Amino acid sequence: MPAPTTRTLNDLVTEGWSRLARLYNFPIMQRLAYQPPQDDIIARLKLSGAQRIADVGCGTGIMAARIQRELRPEVVYGCDASPGMLQQAKSRSTHVHWINRHAENLGLPDNSVDAVVSTHAFHFFDHAPALAEFHRILTPGGLLAIVLNNPTGKFAKALQPQAVRGLAYFPTPAEMRTLITAAGFTITAQHPVHRPLPPALIPDILTVARRN
Ligand SMILES: C[S@@+](CC[C@H](N)C(=O)[O-])C[C@H]1O[C@@H](n2cnc3c(N)ncnc32)[C@H](O)[C@@H]1O
């Protein structure tokens, strides 16, 4: 399981998430921060009729377990590089296939899934290799749906100095479209996540594409 090449501090990130795993499931945090993007993605999956779905950077497995429970597709993979997060995920569902791998090297066969989804994790991935891996495992026409924050203004600049790019980088919506298109996808939609909080607090964007 090789580590990502440009996200040089990714092991630090995934070890950190292992330690935070128990705090992660607080209901209020889940409801305010993480549930709205999951709702948007589950609605897209429902429309697409995808039957083999991979949730990459699945964390404690809340969305992967919801996908399995609410949509009942043929197979759901929950993939994450952090053993601590996956330990929580495993206790959530025995129907999801939990995979402890990096996004850049998921180990699934070529053309084996109809949808790859990811919420609030892509900024940690090594973008081009991860997208190449999603393209490899997806069937032609398969769905890609990624939610990540789009920090704007001074806050964004504070978050993204060169010094922390080994930990995370949040592509802008335009950068997302460029990266995803270059990896062999066609963008079909891009919009802010529907959430009750003002977008300035959690400015996350859903980007949807189809594999060419
Ligand atoms: C903020 S959590 C998001 C979890 C979940 N998707 C959610 O929305 O609740 C980010 C997750 O990304 C995972 N992660 C970071 N880098 C990764 C990589 N290169 N490959 C796979 N997972 C990674 C971390 O271990 C962590 O569980």
Closest by alpha carbon to 21, among 70, 80, 101? 80
Beta-sheet pairing, 113-119 with 138-149: parallel
Question: Would 18 be classed as within a structural domain?
Answer: yes
Pocket perturbation via mutation, ligand 1, pick of 39, 58, 80 by most ligand atoms within 8 A of CB:
80
CATH number of the domain encompassing residue 62? 3.40.50.150
- In tens, the pLDDT along 68-109 reads 999 999 999 999 999 999 999 999 999 999 999 999 999 999
Q: Is 82 in the pocket of ligand 1 (CB under 6 A)?
A: yes
Q: Whose CA is nearest to atom 16 of ligand 1?
A: 124
Q: Report the nearest atom of ligand 1 relative to the CA of 18.
A: 25
Q: How far is the CA of 121 from the centre of ligand 1 (A)?
A: 4
pLDDT band of residue 210 (cuts 50, 70, 90) is very high
* Phi/psi of residue 191, nearest 5 degrees: -160, 160
Domain presence at residue 161: yes
Model pTM? 0.90
Side chain identity at residue 135, one-letter code: H
Residue 155 structure tokens: 């806050």
The total number of structural domains that make up the chain = 1
Q: Quote the ligand 1 centre to 14 CA distance (angstroms).
A: 7
Determine, yes or no, domain membership for 1: no
In a domain, 133, yes or no: yes
Tell me, yes or no, whether 4 lies in a domain. no
How much of the chain exceeds pLDDT 90, in percent? 67
Residues ≥6 apart with Cβ < 8 Å to 201: none
| Dihedral sign from CA coordinates of 133, 191, 8, 61 | negative
Residue 2 lies in a domain: no
Give the residue whose CA is nearest to atom 18 of ligand 1: 102
CB of 103 sitting under 6 A from ligand 1:
yes
pLDDT band at 10 (very low <50, low <70, confident <90, very high): confident
Determine the 3-state secondary structure of 48 from DSSP. Answer: helix
Residue 69 lies in a domain: yes
- Structure tokens given for 8: 């040089």
> How many Å lie between the centroid of ligand 1 and the Cα of residue 58?
6
Q: How far is CA 89 from the centre of its chain?
A: 15
Which H/E stretch holds residue 35?
helix 35-48
Name the residue range of residue 38's domain: 10-211
Handedness of CA 25, 26, 28, 32 (dihedral sign): negative
Are the CB atoms for 125 and 194 separated by under 8 Å? no
Helix axes 35-48, 62-71, angle to 10 degrees: 40
Q: What is the DSSP letter of 4?
A: P
Domain annotation covers residue 123: yes
- Give me ligand 1 centre to Cα 18, in Å: 10
Ligand 1, atom 27: closest residue by C-alpha: 59
Say how far apart CA 66 and CA 50 lie, in whole Å.
Answer: 14
Q: Highest-confidence range of 35-39, 136-140, 157-161, by mean pLDDT?
A: 136-140
The reply to whether ligand 1 has any atom less than 6 angstroms from the CB of 204 is no
- On average, the pLDDT of the chain sits at 89
